[in-house]
Structure 1
């Protein structure tokens, strides 16, 4: 049995960037295999039942899909260099940033990739999936076809002519400067060692917003400390580092956390409510679809509609479960902190019908 892991993914894949950075920090031996059409047909779909990357093959010949599941599983098997802080506030904040990166920063990531001038770079990248060894003009032909499919997802995220100015203002004038200010002072979110929140941010901030030409130039010019953090996340770290002492959350993260609860959490809470309503109306449907209608979201001062992503409830459950596991004394400290960033009410969310992942599909308990 090989002791190596295998990472099936692609450089332009958002979530592959998260999984790769994690494997690098954990110092786990791995080989990366580019997910060409041949690999999708022969490995990814047969082994996972879904068409999503990244997939990690373990030395035990298991195939793990979804980055949160990958990290949860490998943390149990490799407790050295842990990426989930042991103290309550830092642990909760780490999960909050993971879900913000995974499910909210995908909005600017998709906008800047598909609505900006990143061509022919992106067409070449996607063309390698079908024609990895063919000349550039053939790769570009196939890449444009695949790209059209991905661009079709953009409106589902609420990225429209109405919301684009607000998305750009939010990302360029709030997210970038706040993250740049933080990483001017700290190597990672919570000190000199990355946490699961750093890996959540790494997906969109590396694969789309750093690597793609137009957003990459914006980040490097306006947020150089953030760009250096991205580069650092892809480098092996010889010294493990440490989280800040005494469960401290840096002041430089407080405005971002306040915005997370103001902007993302109403959408997450509404998603849970919509899914609970959906299951009452569809009691006999065993497999839950990836989207169930639309709801409103607000970015800046602009409100737009977007698809309701059912998977978001599974991510919310992890955060609320983390909060609910705290002892009374820990909860007192956490609650005071949550009150200061407008997040205490969000953690009281009562999820009656819980989701679980079975063979990479969502099902109710």
Structure 2
């Protein structure tokens, strides 16, 4: 049996960037297969039941979907070069950054891809899915049709004329400068070794915001150290590196963490509340839909509407499960830190109806 993994994904796919960087750092043998329409029809949908990439085929012919699930599974099977900190604050912060990157940085990622001058580059990328061997003009034509579907998701994320100025201000004047300052002083989020949160960041910061022409120019101008971090994350590292001693969280991350709890966490908390109500109102529906209506979100001084993404609760559960596993001594340290960044109350969120992933679908736990 071959010990090689197979990654089904695409260069322009946000979450493929996360999975690829992880496989590279772990030094796991893998080959990457472009997720063309043929691959979707013959492998991805039949093997996973969903139409999402990346998908990772294991040496044992399992097909893993969702990057958090992929990383969780491979961390158990390949504990060497672990990306999970063992100390309490660092472990929690790593989970927080993963969820922030996966579910919040997707907002600027989608905005800068579909609302900026990235064409025909993006159309060529998407055209390869259907017509990989056709002339560029055909690929661009097909890619524009495919791209229209993805662009249709943009308003669902709350990206409209009303919110775009706030999104751009937040990303260009806060997120990028803060990350740039951090990566000027540290190779990765928590030291000289990447953690789970680094791989989360690689999704939006690589596939959309580093590769697409318009946001790439912005990143290189405003945050050259972030661009260097992206490049570092895509290169094999001979030296494993270490997390910072004494469970230290760098000061350069504190403002980002504060904004996470101020801006993203109310959305996550309300998602839990609204999903609890939806489950009560739909007791006989086995599979939970991906969205269940709309709610408010705030970036900067702008409040707007966006779809309620039910999968966010599964990501919140990961964070809370991490927090609740700490012993009393760890809790003292973690709680003092959370209080300092405005996150202590957030960790008290009570989830009455837990959800789980079964056959890559979101369902209510028994």
TM-score interval (norm. to shorter): over 0.9
Aligned 1:20-59 pairs, distance under 5 A: 20-59=20-59
* Other-structure match for 2:192: 192
* Other-structure match for 1:266: 266
Instruction: Give the 3-state SS of the residue equivalent to 1:218 in structure 2.
Output: helix
1:217 aligns with 2:223: no
Q: Distance in 2 between matches of 1:176 and 1:352?
A: 36
1:128: how far off? 0.1
Q: Distance in 2 between matches of 1:141 and 1:238?
A: 43
* Other-structure match for 1:4: 4
* Other-structure match for 2:247: 247
* Other-structure match for 2:342: 342
* Other-structure match for 2:287: 287
Q: Distance in 1 between matches of 2:150 and 2:283?
A: 32
* Other-structure match for 2:113: 113
Q: Distance in 1 between matches of 2:298 and 2:90?
A: 27
Q: CA RMSD in A?
A: 0.3
Q: Distance in 2 between matches of 1:62 and 1:223?
A: 39
* Other-structure match for 1:357: 357
Q: How many residues align?
A: 365
* Other-structure match for 1:229: 229
* Other-structure match for 2:135: 135
Q: Distance in 2 between matches of 1:304 and 1:291?
A: 17
Instruction: Give the 3-state SS of the residue equivalent to 2:7 in structure 1.
Output: strand
1:270: how far off? 0.2
Instruction: Give the 3-state SS of the residue equivalent to 2:198 in structure 1.
Output: helix
Q: What's the TM-score, normalizing by structure 1?
A: 1.00
Deviations 1:199-256 (A, max 9, x none): 0000000000000000001001110000000000000000000000000000000000
Instruction: Give the 3-state SS of the residue equivalent to 1:68 in structure 2.
Output: helix
Q: What's the TM-score, normalizing by structure 2?
A: 1.00
1:61 aligns with 2:61: yes
1:208 aligns with 2:208: yes
Unmatched tracts of structure 2, length 5 or more: none
Instruction: Give the 3-state SS of the residue equivalent to 1:113 in structure 2.
Output: helix
Q: Distance in 1 between matches of 2:141 and 2:225?
A: 37
* Other-structure match for 1:328: 328
* Other-structure match for 1:302: 302
Q: Distance in 1 between matches of 2:345 and 2:75?
A: 30
Q: Distance in 1 between matches of 2:51 and 2:63?
A: 13
Instruction: Give the 3-state SS of the residue equivalent to 1:210 in structure 2.
Output: coil
Deviations 1:129-155 (A, max 9, x none): 000011001100110000000000000
Q: Distance in 1 between matches of 2:173 and 2:362?
A: 37
Instruction: Give the 3-state SS of the residue equivalent to 1:288 in structure 2.
Output: coil
Instruction: Give the 3-state SS of the residue equivalent to 1:295 in structure 2.
Output: strand
Deviations 1:174-205 (A, max 9, x none): 00000000000000000000000000000000
1:159: how far off? 0.2
1:72 aligns with 2:34: no
1:29: how far off? 0.2
1:2: how far off? 1.3
1:88 aligns with 2:88: yes
* Other-structure match for 1:162: 162
Q: Distance in 2 between matches of 1:74 and 1:249?
A: 26
Q: Distance in 2 between matches of 1:299 and 1:277?
A: 26
Deviations 1:300-322 (A, max 9, x none): 10000000000000000000000
Q: Distance in 1 between matches of 2:38 and 2:249?
A: 46
Q: Distance in 1 between matches of 2:222 and 2:326?
A: 39
Q: Distance in 1 between matches of 2:163 and 2:299?
A: 8
Which runs of 4 or more aligned residues in structure 1 lie more than 6 Å from their structure 2 counterparts after TM superposition? none
1:292: how far off? 0.1
Q: Distance in 2 between matches of 1:66 and 1:186?
A: 28
Q: Distance in 2 between matches of 1:96 and 1:135?
A: 44
